[in-house]
Chain A
Amino acid sequence: NAGVTQTPKFRVLKTGQSMTLLCAQDMNHEYMYWYRQDPGMGLRLIHYSVGEGTTAKGEVPDGYNVSRLKKQNFLLGLESAAPSQTSVYFCAIMRDRVSDTQYFGPGTRLTVL
């Protein structure tokens, strides 16, 4: 998966609990993305970052927060998990604005009971 790792691989939460998903890359790419994938919905962009210290909202940002304090790490936080956030979460990286290739991590499967 092109130097993109995601932690954890699986997690089960109870409604109202919080957690943080970590995306780490070793390719020195500028852009990082968080998507969620639900059956029949493809991938939907939650938040993204165009460089260290920057973040921006995507298509479905509500209920999530992100941080990019270091270039190699992009964190996705759920402050108060809801069953609607049960999904598979993918992180992706892209070298820069000129590049058109996003490299995806292996995903994190999250279940909220």
Chain B
Amino acid sequence: TQLLEQSPQFLSIQEGENLTVYCNSSSVFSSLQWYRQEPGEGPVLLVTVVTGGEVKKLKRLTFQFGDARKDSSLHITAAQPGDTGLYLCAGDKAAGNKLTFGGGTRVLVKP
């Protein structure tokens, strides 16, 4: 059982549709990050959320940190083929220097 559970594991949608990816845990995190990874490359940081209830927007991507800092969601509005990739959430439990990653959500946006 992973400390951070992501759902769904795979999501296939048509261009223009909306999607939401969830990252859940029973543990409290001091901060939570979202990464996107493309095939053959390393993950790239999209955003860090640190305050319970925090909402951050990055163009068509909206990230939310749960009030209790145990969960997070990523919402993409009007998805585009360029949004295709593996989305990973990662939590830092103790404001230290180690991250715990979720299992990832593979998103496919069809043109």
Contacts and interface: CB of A to CB of B under 8 A. Distances in A.
Interface of B is mostly: loop
B97 A48 contact: yes
A50 interface: yes
Contact residues on B (Cβ < 8 Å of other chain), bracket = 20 to 34
Interface string B45-76: 10010000000000000000000000000000
Contact of A106 (B2, B41, B92, B97): B41
A35 B37 CA distance: 14
How many of chain A's residues touch chain B, expressed as a range? 20 to 34
B65 to A, nearest CB: 13
B45 A102 contact: yes
Interface of A: 1, 4, 31, 35, 40-45, 48, 50, 58-59, 90, 92, 94, 97, 100-107
